Amino acid sequence: MKAHSIETQASITPSKALTFLKEGNLRFINNLKVNRDLLQQANETRDGQWPFAVILSCIDSRTSTELIFDQGLGDIFSIRIAGNVINTDIMGSLEFACKVAGSKLIVVLGHTNCGAIKGACDHVEMGNLTELLSKIQPAVYQETKTTDPNMRNSSNKKFVENVTKLNVRRSVKTILNRSYILEQMVESGDIAIIGAMHNLDSGMVEFMDDTWVSSKKEIESNVSFSENSEKAEKSAKAVAASQ
């Protein structure tokens, strides 16, 4: 399989990019990965790169995006940070990937059994990790389904799963809120953003269809979702303060 070129990248729409990733993950979970000559791909991509998607995922050693989406050299940008959190440098990397290098799709990828999410659920504080985990705390507060205070920790699998999904949703929203460049690109149909969850047990990636943002209209509905989220967060904080 050949590496992407400027022509193939230009022909890919955001929906097509999503299809490529879905197909790649299907190949991965069925152990049918494409036969690639990586040395040849290294040769083909030495003068430039035209990746069709950028994926923000966790550093977890079991979530390597090129592997779980069966992609080769030059196919996808991979941004990895514990808990797939957002900061200014991550935003800059996303803007580079889409605006400068032409990627068509942003995926925020959470995963099951995430150590960073568990750490945030347990309010762990340790060195520089404290600041990183604080970026996940809003998702912990936003989880209002688990009302028993004794169940709001990493030993409760359902609580951890809920927080992981909320963290992905918040990241999708944050990307739109924090980048005028990316917001404009979504509005003009040049790119789309979607959240997803990688199941470590099966290897399967489940895309969260209701997080898909590919137009001005969908940005607006995402904003109304965010207003609801902010309300939920405030009420969760009020409940936490009253306990």
Count of residues binding Zn ion (CB under 5 A)? 4
- Asked if 60 interacts with Zn ion (CB under 5 A), we say yes
Provide the 10 A C-beta neighbour count for residue 4: 27
- Asked if 121 interacts with Zn ion (CB under 5 A), we say no
Q: Nearest approach, Cβ of 59 to Zn ion (angstroms)?
A: 7
- Asked if 166 interacts with Zn ion (CB under 5 A), we say no
Residue 57 Cα distances to 10, 86, 214, angstroms: 25, 10, 20
- Asked if 58 interacts with Zn ion (CB under 5 A), we say yes
Task: Determine the interface stretch with Zn ion among 27-35, 114-122, 151-159, 188-196 (rule: CB under 5 A).
Answer: 114-122
Q: Nearest approach, Cβ of 65 to Zn ion (angstroms)?
A: 13
Task: Determine the interface stretch with Zn ion among 8-16, 24-32, 112-120, 235-243 (rule: CB under 5 A).
Answer: 112-120
Task: Determine the interface stretch with Zn ion among 49-57, 58-66, 118-126, 131-139 (rule: CB under 5 A).
Answer: 58-66
- Report the alpha-carbon distance of residue 232 to residue 216 in Å, rounded: 24
Query: Considering beta carbons, is residue 58 or 205 the nearer one to Zn ion?
Result: 58
Residue 214 Cα distances to 95, 138, 148, 167, 219, angstroms: 16, 25, 38, 20, 8
> Mind giving me the DSSP string for 69-135?
TT--TTTEEEEE-GGG---HHHHHHHHIIIIIT---EEEEEEETT-HHHHHHHTT---TTHHHHHHT
> CB under 8 Å to 159, separation ≥6 — which residues?
121, 143, 146, 151, 152, 153
> CB under 8 Å to 113, separation ≥6 — which residues?
160, 200
Q: Nearest approach, Cβ of 12 to Zn ion (angstroms)?
A: 28
Q: Exactly one of 114, 133, 192, 205 binds Zn ion (CB under 5 A); which one?
A: 114
Query: Considering beta carbons, is residue 31 or 128 the nearer one to Zn ion?
Result: 128
Task: Determine the interface stretch with Zn ion among 34-42, 51-59, 72-80, 95-103 (rule: CB under 5 A).
Answer: 51-59
Query: Considering beta carbons, is residue 31 or 61 the nearer one to Zn ion?
Result: 61
Q: By the criterion CB under 5 A, which residues form the site for Zn ion?
A: 58, 60, 114, 116
